[in-house]
Amino acid sequence: MKPVTYVRAGSVAEAAAAHAGRPEARYLGGGTNLVDLMKLGVERPDVLIDITRLPLDQVEESPDGALRIGATVRNTDLAAHPLVRERYPVLSQAVLSGASGQLRNVATTAGNLLQRTRCAYFQDLAKPCNKRVPGSGCGALDGVNRDHAVLGHSEHCVATHPSDLAVALAALDAVVEMAGPGGGRTVELTEFHRLPQDSPDQDTVIRPGELITGVLLPPLPGGAVSRYRKARDRASYAFALASVAAAVQVEGGVVRHIGVAFGGLAHRPWRARRTEAALLGSAPTPEAVAQAVDAELAAAVPLRDNAYKVSLARDLAREVLGSLIARS
Amino acid sequence: MGPSPSALGAPVERREGRAKVTGAAKYATEYAPPGRVHAWPVPATVARGKVVSFDVSAALALPGVLAVLTPESAARLADAGDPTLAVLQDSQVPHHGWPVALAVAETLETARAAAGAVRVRYATEPHDVTLTRDHPQAYSPEEVNGGHPGERRQGDPEGAFADAAVRVDVSYAVPPLHNHPMEPHGATALWQDDVLTVFDSSQGGDTVRAVLAKLFTLPEERVSVVCEHVGGGFGSKGTPRPHVVLAALAARHTGRPVQLTLSRRELTELVGHRAPTLHRVRLGARPDGTLTSLIHEATTHTSRVKEFVEQAAVPARVMYAGGSSRTSHRVVALDVPTPSWMRAPGETPGMYALESAVDELACALGMDPIDLRVCNEPPAEPDSGRPFSSRHLVECLRDGAARFGWAERDPRSGVRRSGPWLTGTGVAAATYPVLLSPSRATVTAHPDGLYVVRLNATDIGTGARTVLTQIAAEALGVGVESVRTEIGVTGLPRAPLAGGSAGTASWGWAVHEACRSLAGQLADRSGPLPPGGLTASADTEGTANAESPYARHAFGAHFAEVAVDTDTGEVRVRRLLGVYAAGRILNARTARSQFIGGMVMGLGMALTEGGSVDPASGAFIGSDLAGYHVPSHADVPAIEAHWIDEKDPHLNPMGSKGIGEIGIVGTAAAIGNAVHHATGVRFRELPLTPDRVHV
């Protein structure tokens, strides 16, 4: 049995000090995923550094109108925050569509971004999984892969990222703030999560010992509207089969701002740059929207069991974009 | 004076409700005998082959590890007639998840770590875990679950089908389903002077005792089984499961009390599942709706450990009049975990297929599906020719139709649109047999006015303790507050398990008889009772299990309203309504709970539940409660359960039929039929998740 040391950090510096030189240390937020994975033997940390007492639990407005979400803001508090609900409905909706009320009460913003895939092969020590044991193979590639990726996957990994929140953040041009041994740095959320390529064990670009301190949300242009929609197997407490987050501003019949991201389709929140490029600066007719969505999904390569995801994502995106354009 | 609040039928609250909600009620692995240690199984990670060698050195080196049991070190077990219990007896691996070793340690965490540290080398053989309609190894079994013949034939069904004016020939698929009771299977076992005591999570303590006595070659008196509170079973705890045998083996080996709780994932491979079923149903009818041919063929799997055949074509032998019929089963033994009972085995998948096909026939005839059922109402049980003891299916359909607003239904499918939603309604019938087993019971009148009822019944969460108290109170002519019911431990008068919707009827018959006998003795006597009280007993052997000249079944009608999101293919149930004819309802509160619980489980079967077997490893995967989707609260709409006042003198002294299972039986078909009515598309494979429904 592997003993685990528990450390409660009072500051970012204390947290970093506790992590230094301990490659098997893990920061503990809500623990809703990490503790499950410890029970399964997938995660085997030697130190748990509890960061929930760090002063990172506020949602603050900066002078330039951006919103800074602290790393330890609980999902429930984030979804209910008046400024989030008013300015970024897509984010509030995404959070509320995830997990269950009990889980959202403890899950944190940073923890949500760092949660691991729910791929059943990843969670089962007896199965091959390149994400868990590099070089062991991918059980899902020819296995039960109804829930798996259709975009950006590789022969080494077909897992999806399970977050709803991250999909909304991807559509909103969010920026991840980190503190670390080498000092602070920021990374665009869309660059924070990786595609699997030949090293699916690396979910994100975070470096050993680095700690997410917050997420920065730039202001949306005036008149922009946003929305999140998710398709799932049951009405609550189920991961997205496919989801869409979008923020759109239409002015004078022309798209002036657009951010679109898919969830449930890839190893990371999938920013739909092709869709955006096709629509930005043009008149968003239903035909144009349909073509723009298809342009993104043309790259999809379904697996044996998940071809449905492509048409499901297409219909979700058309509906969400159509409704936002009509409202904007 | 109105009826006494203790009268049979009254909504008496669960007697142990307070103990449960305050945590005082003890479940099998909440007992902690002094010196108690923990066990954790090592599951096979291959689907077929044998263990070549173990390396247990790393496991034994962990501080606090007491033993790693393997087939070499575990005690020999005698044959108890259930090969799924022959654990740690040889090196064969019959399916993924089969326990090949067992770690025992001072703490749960150490036991788990030790199990993980056992290195197992296998010689694997090619495995086959995939059920197909035309599997070359499929065969026709003589007998299917419940002791029913594998095939029954009446008349010339193929010829009648070929000649029929209106025909449907359709296939349906139901995936493997998991019981997943809230309390996982667990046991605490201890040996004292060659007496084995187990606290087990089981639906029947006397069965556990009998089987353990056989396995360990002990007289039954030297085995004691406690099942005081059980957090659900749905059939998966009907007979002993491997966990209790493993706990007893480990306790014998180490000389310490041993506790073992299966993890949620282990349940799927060690306690049984509802086997997948592939159905072909052919119905032939005259233009007026009269059925002339009914052919129901069900194909399913079993394991290589033992034959268990889901009796999915059996309910078709009960349901409809009509000249010719064939109901048959085929089964193939695959390298899969052994299937077992799950709530209304046979009836649930069988009636999904049959009642969906009846709906398809109604559409083909252009006939209302209720009218179609009514016009094929049989005068006697179609397959056996026996008269029904009571059958009020038509009343259930009519009453349900009135409550549901069926008369206003537009029969056209795919035409009710509101935004992205298409809505529709559906109906299906349900049936479940009346089963009975003999039971014993005693009741003692004490001088202080207390009556104590004793029998080894099991309350698996249904309210058995409460309803038996009501049965006793009515038979004694006293209030429920004067009656205490002691159940859940061997040594009490022998009683059958809680299963087959037969518990209350079987136990209650003996309780009723004992109480009537005692009431008679009390009426004949004068003067104070002796200090030890006056006891009467009953044994219904030979009466409760006597062959009945009647076909005895409960019936029901399910109604569902669904909305289908055309953007996503998400199906959401908006209303469910069930009306049941199940004899006399003995407790309105707990009965409603049983009916509604069955309907929720049927909703899960229709929309969200399905086990997945990984072809490469032969494992059920993603089968914890995050991956195996039982309905969440948000999935469960307003549900109504009603019953009609059915009087049947051919059942038992209470006049009751079982109610634990019929609520699930027709629910999935009603929902599936509603989805067709909403969309105009017939989906014939469950569950109706967006990957299937989105088009």
- From the candidates A97, A142, A233, A239, which should be mutated to test the interface with B, based on the most B CB atoms within 10 A? A233
Question: Which of B616, B690, B694 is closest, CB to CB, to A142?
Answer: B616
B130 touching A (Cβ < 8 Å): no
B627 touching A (Cβ < 8 Å): yes
Q: Taken in order A72, A74, A75, A77, is the CA torsion positive or negative?
A: negative
Q: Two tokens at B51?
A: 């263990």
Contact A235 B690 (CB under 8 A): no
CA–CA–CA angle A245, A251, A256 (5° rounding): 55
Question: Which of B617, B634, B692 is closest, CB to CB, to A127?
Answer: B617
Give the mean model confidence (pLDDT) for residues B452-473.
Answer: 97
Q: What is the pLDDT of residue B457?
A: 98
Contact B694 A124 (CB under 8 A): no
Q: Taken in order B459, B463, B466, B470, is the CA torsion positive or negative?
A: negative
Q: pLDDT tens for residues B476-495? A: 999 999 999 999 999 999 99
**Model confidence at B695, in pLDDT bands (50, 70, 90)?**
confident
Question: Which of B615, B633, B694 is closest, CB to CB, to A312?
Answer: B694
Nearest CA in chain A to B42: A126
Give the mean model confidence (pLDDT) for residues B419-447.
Answer: 98
Q: What is the pLDDT of residue B417?
A: 97
Q: pLDDT tens for residues A38-97? A: 999 999 999 999 999 999 999 999 999 999 999 999 999 999 999 999 999 999 999 999
Q: How far is CA B608 from the centre of its chain?
A: 18
Question: Which of B567, B621, B634 is closest, CB to CB, to A144?
Answer: B621
Give the mean model confidence (pLDDT) for residues B263-288.
Answer: 97
- Cα–Cα distance measured from residue B543 to residue A150, given in angstroms and rounded to the nearest whole number: 63
B477 touching A (Cβ < 8 Å): no
> What does the mean pLDDT of chain B come to?
97
Which residues in chain B have Cβ-Cβ distances shorter than 8 Å to A305?
691
Nearest to B431 by CA among B556, B540, B551, B306: B556
Q: pLDDT tens for residues B199-235? A: 999 999 999 999 999 999 999 999 999 999 999 999 9
Q: Two tokens at B422?
A: 């298409």
Residues near B134 by beta carbon (within 8 Å), at least 6 away in sequence: none
The question of whether B481 is a catalytic residue gets the answer no
Q: What is the pLDDT of residue B6?
A: 56
Contact B612 A233 (CB under 8 A): no
- Cα–Cα distance measured from residue B573 to residue B604, given in angstroms and rounded to the nearest whole number: 11
Q: What is the pLDDT of residue A112?
A: 98
Q: What is the pLDDT of residue A2?
A: 81
Q: Does residue B1 carry a pLDDT above 50?
A: no
The CA-atom distances, in angstroms, between A97 and each of A24, A100, A159, A309, B634 are 32, 8, 20, 18, 12
Peptide bond into B687 cis (omega under 30): yes
Question: Which of B45, B567, B691 is closest, CB to CB, to A308?
Answer: B691
Three-state secondary structure call for residue B572: strand
Give the mean model confidence (pLDDT) for residues B242-264.
Answer: 98
Q: pLDDT tens for residues A210-257? A: 999 999 999 999 999 999 999 999 999 999 999 999 999 999 999 999
**Model confidence at B5, in pLDDT bands (50, 70, 90)?**
low
Which residues in chain B have Cβ-Cβ distances shorter than 8 Å to A120?
614, 621-622, 627
Q: Two tokens at B203?
A: 């639906």
Distance from CA of B522 to the nearest CA of A (A): 56
> Under an 8 Å CB criterion, which residues of A touch B?
1-2, 41, 100, 118, 120-121, 123-127, 139, 142-144, 146-147, 231-238, 241, 305-306, 308-309, 311-312, 315-316, 319
Contact B634 A236 (CB under 8 A): yes
Nearest CA in chain B to A237: B632
What would the DSSP string read from start to end of B446-477?
Answer: -TTS-EEEE-----SSS-HHHHHHHHHHHHHT
Write down the ipTM of this complex: 0.96
**Model confidence at B2, in pLDDT bands (50, 70, 90)?**
very low
Residue labelled with tokens 């247990």: B56
- Cα–Cα distance measured from residue A289 to residue A300, given in angstroms and rounded to the nearest whole number: 18
Q: pLDDT tens for residues B378-408? A: 999 999 999 999 999 999 999 999 999 999 9
CB pairs under 8 A between A and B: 107
Q: How far is CA A94 from the centre of its chain?
A: 10
Contact B632 A312 (CB under 8 A): no
Decide if B349 contacts B184 (C-beta within 8 A).
Answer: no
Contact B110 A1 (CB under 8 A): yes
Nearest to B643 by CA among B392, B429, B474: B392
- Would you tell me the crossing angle of helices B503-523 and B464-476 to the nearest 10 degrees? 30
Contact A127 B627 (CB under 8 A): no
Q: pLDDT tens for residues A245-290? A: 999 999 999 999 999 999 999 999 999 999 999 999 999 999 999 9
Q: Does residue A194 carry a pLDDT above 90?
A: yes
* Marked catalytic residue, from B513, B561, B609, B661: B661
Nearest CA in chain B to A97: B634
Q: What is the pLDDT of residue B3?
A: 46
Question: Which of B568, B687, B695 is closest, CB to CB, to A316?
Answer: B568
**Other Cβ atoms within 10 Å of A10 Cβ, number:** 11
